[in-house]
Amino acid sequence: MVGRRSNQMLREDMERRFYRLGQFLGGYLHEDWPKLYGTPEIALGKAMEESPIELRQQARRELTRVLAEFEEDKKLREVLNSGLGVNVFFKKPRVRTY
């Protein structure tokens, strides 16, 4: 139950601090994006096409703050996925060993 509570607290904090970014990304990168768009790049392209310039500008400012504040990959993923509700779990490229 502790995990659920901490996720809820993270979600509330991130929504308060980065509301527009959450709206911008969450509107397109939700659980149905693979069926609707196929790739996250296409989903983001659609978001760019359909969102007003003011929302895109604010989302960009907030994304800049998020990237500066959460440099560690694991924490950034937690912020985007659990904190902002973005439903994309990018995988790291596999390193081949020979």
Domain limits of the chain?
2-83
Which of the four pLDDT bands, split at 50, 70 and 90, describes residue 95? very low
Answer yes or no: is pLDDT of 15 > 70.
yes
Q: How many other β-carbons are positioned within 10 Å of the β-carbon of residue 37?
A: 17
Task: Name the range with the highest mean pLDDT among 40-44, 86-90, 92-96.
Answer: 40-44
The amino acid present at 53, given as its one-letter code, is I
Measured CA to CA, the distance from residue 39 to residue 72 in angstroms comes to: 24
Question: Which tokens hold the place of 49?
Answer: 């096409």
For the stretch 54-74, pLDDT in tens is 999 999 999 999 999 999 988
**Residues with Cβ within 8 Å of residue 82, at least 6 apart in sequence:** 7, 10, 11
78: left (phi over 0), alpha (psi -120 to 50) or beta: alpha
